[in-house]
Chains A and B, each alone.
Chain A
Amino acid sequence: MSTILHFRNWHESRATSKRPSLTQLEHAGEFIRRHIGPDEFEQQQMLSQIGYDSLEALVNATVPANIRMARALSLTGPMTESAALEKLKSLVADDSLMRSFIGMGYYPSKTPGVIQRNVLENPGWYTAYTPYQPEISQGRLECLLNFQQMILDMTAMDIANASLLDEATAAAEGMALARRVATNRASNTFFVDKRCFPQTIDVVRTRARGFGIDIVVDDIGTMVEHDVFGVLLQYPGSMGQVTDPTSSIEAVHAQGGIAVVATDLLSLALLKPPGEMGADVVVGSSQRFGVPMGYGGPHAAFFAVRDAYKRAVPGRIIGVSVDSRGKVGLRMALQTREQHIRRERANSNICTSQVLLANVAVLYAMYHGPEGIRRIAERVHRLTSILAQGLIDSGLVPHNTTWFDTLTLHFDVRDGEAAMHRAKAAGINLRLDCPAGTQLGVSLDECTTTADVVRLWQVLLGDKASSLCVENLDAKIVAHGVSGGIPAETVRQSSYLQHAFFNSYHSETDMMRYLRRLEGRDIALNHSMIALGSCTMKLNAAAEMTPILWPEFSQPHPFVPLEQVSGYVAMIADLESMLAEITGFHTVSMQPNSGAQGEYAGLLTIRKYLDSIDQKQRDICLIPQSAHGTNPASAQMIGMQVVIVECDEDGNIDTGDLREKIAKFGPRVAALMLTYPSTHGVYEVSVKEVCQMVHACGGQVYMDGANMNAQVAITRPGDIGADVAHVNLHKTFCIPHGGGGPGMGPIGVKKHLVPFLPDHCVVSSGKSWIGNSAVSAAPWGSASILPISWMYISMMGEQGLLRATQVAILNANYIASRLSDQYPILYTGNKGLVAHECIVDLRALKESSGVSDEDVAKRLMDFGFHAPTMSFPVAGTLMIEPTESESLAELDRFIDAMLFIREEIAAIERGDMARDNNPLKNAPHTLADIMDEGWNKPYSKAQAVFPLPWLHENKYWPPVNRINNVHGDRVLLCSCPDTDVYR
Chain B
Amino acid sequence: MLLFVIKNLICRTDGGYEIIVTIQVGRLKYAKTHEWVREENAGTAIVGISAHAQSLLGDVVFVELPAPGTCVKRQESIAVIESVKAASDVYAPVSGVILKVNDDVVNSPELINESPLERGWLFSMQLDDATELDELMDGEVYQDEHDSAFS
Contact = CB atoms under 8 A, between A and B. Distances in A.
Contacts of A342: 80, 87-89
Interface string B75-95: 001001011111111000000
B64 interface: yes
Contacts of B87: 336-337, 340-342
A306 to B, nearest CB: 17
Contact of A969 (B64, B77, B84, B89): B84
Given A311-B62, A311-B64, A966-B59, A336 B84 contact: yes
B61 interface: yes
Given A344-B77, A345-B77, A970 B86 contact: no
A471 B91 CA distance: 70
Interface string A338-349: 001110110000
B128 to A, nearest CB: 21
B96 to A, nearest CB: 20
B16 to A, nearest CB: 26
A969 B85 contact: no
A238 interface: no
Interface in A926-980: 965-966, 969-970
Interface string B49-72: 000000000010110100000000
A336 B109 contact: no
Given A344-B89, A969-B61, A969-B62, A334 B109 contact: no
A238 to B, nearest CB: 36
Contacts of A336: 82-87
Contacts of A337: 82, 87
A340 B85 contact: yes
Nearest to B83: A336
Contact of B82 (A344, A345, A871, A969): A969
B151 to A, nearest CB: 12
Contacts of A966: 59, 61, 84
A647 to B, nearest CB: 15
A970 B64 contact: no
A96 B30 CA distance: 70
Nearest to B84: A965
B89 A334 contact: no
B78 to A, nearest CB: 12
A970 B109 contact: yes
Main secondary structure of the interface of B (DSSP, over half): strand
Interface residues of B, number: 16
Contacts of A335: 84
Of the listed residues A336, A341, A342, A969, the one surrounded by the most CB atoms of chain B closer than 10 A to its CB is A336
Contacts of B82: 311, 334, 336-337, 969
Contacts of B83: 336
A336 B110 CA distance: 17
Nearest to B87: A336
Contacts of A340: 85-87
Nearest to B86: A340
A418 B71 CA distance: 66
Interface string A290-319: 000000000000000000000100000000
B143 to A, nearest CB: 19
A361 to B, nearest CB: 29
Given A344-B77, A345-B77, A970 B61 contact: yes
Contacts of A871: 85
Interface in B110-146: 110
Nearest to B77: A345
A336 B84 CA distance: 7
A342 B57 CA distance: 13
A966 B82 CA distance: 11
Contacts of B84: 335-336, 965-966, 969
Nearest to B81: A336
A345 B89 contact: yes
Contacts of A969: 61-62, 82, 84
Of the listed residues B61, B77, B109, the one surrounded by the most CB atoms of chain A closer than 10 A to its CB is B61
Contacts of A970: 61-62, 109-110
A342 B79 CA distance: 12
A336 B80 CA distance: 12
Contacts of B62: 311, 969-970
Nearest to B56: A875
Interface string B9-38: 000000000000000000000000000000
B67 to A, nearest CB: 11
A341 to B, nearest CB: 8
Interface in A695-710: none
Contacts of B86: 336, 340
Contacts of A334: 82
Of the listed residues A334, A335, A344, A970, the one surrounded by the most CB atoms of chain B closer than 10 A to its CB is A970
A337 B84 CA distance: 10
A900 B141 CA distance: 43
A85 B89 CA distance: 52
A72 B83 CA distance: 49
Contacts of B89: 342, 344-345
A337 B62 CA distance: 12
Of the listed residues B86, B87, B89, the one surrounded by the most CB atoms of chain A closer than 10 A to its CB is B87
A344 B33 CA distance: 14
A871 B86 CA distance: 12
A628 to B, nearest CB: 15
A341 B82 CA distance: 11
A970 B112 CA distance: 13
Nearest to B80: A342
A815 B52 CA distance: 35
A498 B55 CA distance: 44
A825 to B, nearest CB: 21
A340 B87 CA distance: 7
A341 B88 CA distance: 9
A556 B54 CA distance: 53
Interface string A767-800: 0000000000000000000000000000000000
Nearest to A875: B85
A691 B84 CA distance: 36
A191 B89 CA distance: 30
B17 to A, nearest CB: 29
Contacts of B77: 344-345
B69 to A, nearest CB: 14
Of the listed residues B85, B89, B110, the one surrounded by the most CB atoms of chain A closer than 10 A to its CB is B85
B49 to A, nearest CB: 15
A410 B109 CA distance: 60
Nearest to A335: B84
A966 B60 CA distance: 8
A345 B88 CA distance: 10
Nearest to B64: A311
A559 B88 CA distance: 43
Nearest to A969: B61
A342 to B, nearest CB: 5
A335 B85 CA distance: 8
Nearest to B88: A342
Nearest to B59: A966
A344 B77 CA distance: 10
Contacts of B64: 311
A342 B90 CA distance: 11
Nearest to A341: B87
A118 to B, nearest CB: 34
A974 to B, nearest CB: 14
Contacts of A341: 87
B90 to A, nearest CB: 11
Given A336-B84, A336-B85, A344-B77, 9 more contacts: A336-B82, A340-B86, A342-B88, A342-B89, A345-B77, A965-B84, A969-B62, A970-B61, A970-B62
Interface of B: 59, 61-62, 64, 77, 80, 82-89, 109-110
* 4 closest Cβ pairs, A-B complex: A969-B61, A336-B87, A966-B59, A965-B84
16 contacts: A335-B84, A336-B82, A336-B83, A336-B84, A336-B85, A336-B86, A340-B86, A340-B87, A342-B80, A342-B89, A344-B89, A965-B84, A969-B84, A970-B61, A970-B62, A970-B110
